């Protein structure tokens, strides 16, 4: 992963790295949450068994913190995994979508998607190739190629 890659080549590993980081963070948060939550539960049980009158919110806070960490860890794990799934789905779906768009629109595409026909000369200059710069025929009025010697329409000499 040194150089000689396009801008897109640089983008891809970075995204994969972000996902991996998210997964690592997710696992770490999840484990930390389980440990802290477990300690909290242990402290809570110990508290309940003790005869101490003073309510100690430490264990409860620890359980809450552990729960939050677990939730954040799961969210990070999801973000890391969903990113991959979304990318995969997009890569799998887009070609099919383009093909469908091209098929449905007869090659013209839908809003720029799936256009397969060329933007060739249409309209004013038809496939017959009527010239726009050449001289009109004096006999029939058909416009001819600039270098035409005889009329396209009637064959009369244009000279």
Q: Which one, 53 or 132, has the nearer CB to Zn ion?
A: 132
Pairwise CA distance, residues 130 & 140, whole Å: 14
What is the nearest approach in angstroms of Zn ion to the Cβ of residue 147?
16
User: What are 93's two structure tokens?
Assistant: 């779906």
Number of helices followed by number of strands (H, E) in the chain: 2, 0
User: What are 99's two structure tokens?
Assistant: 């093909």
In the DSSP assignment, the letter for residue 142 is -
Residue 134 binds to Zn ion (criterion: CB under 5 A): no
Residue 158 binds to Zn ion (criterion: CB under 5 A): no
- Is 74 in contact with 25 (CB distance < 8 Å)? no
Q: Which one, 13 or 155, has the nearer CB to Zn ion?
A: 155
> Closest Cα to residue 59, out of 39, 75, 73?
39
Pairwise CA distance, residues 58 & 105, whole Å: 66
Member of 139, 146, 150, 157 binding Zn ion (CB under 5 A):
139
Contact letters for Zn ion, residues 31-70 (x by CB under 5 A): ----------------------------------------
Member of 140, 146, 150, 157 binding Zn ion (CB under 5 A):
140
Residue 151 binds to Zn ion (criterion: CB under 5 A): yes
Q: Which one, 83 or 134, has the nearer CB to Zn ion?
A: 134
Q: Which residues bind Zn ion (CB under 5 A)?
A: 137, 139-140, 142, 151, 153-154, 156
């Amino acid at each position: 992963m040194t150089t000689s890659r396009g801008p897109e080549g640089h983008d891809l590993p970075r995204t994969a790295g972000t996902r991996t980081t998210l997964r690592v963070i997710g696992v770490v948060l999840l484990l930390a949450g389980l440990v802290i939550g477990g300690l909290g539960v242990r402290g809570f049980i110990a508290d309940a068994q003790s005869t101490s009158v003073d309510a100690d919110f430490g264990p409860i806070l620890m359980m809450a913190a552990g729960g939050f960490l677990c939730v954040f860890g799961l969210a990070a794990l999801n973000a890391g995994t969903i990113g991959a799934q979304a990318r995969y789905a997009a890569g799998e779906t887009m070609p099919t979508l383009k093909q469908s768009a091209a098929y449905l629109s007869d090659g013209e595409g839908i809003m720029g998607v799936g256009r397969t026909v060329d933007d060739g000369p249409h309209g004013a200059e038809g496939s017959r190739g009527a010239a726009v710069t050449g001289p009109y025929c004096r006999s029939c009025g058909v416009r001819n190629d600039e270098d035409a010697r005889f009329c396209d329409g009637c064959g009369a000499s244009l000279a």
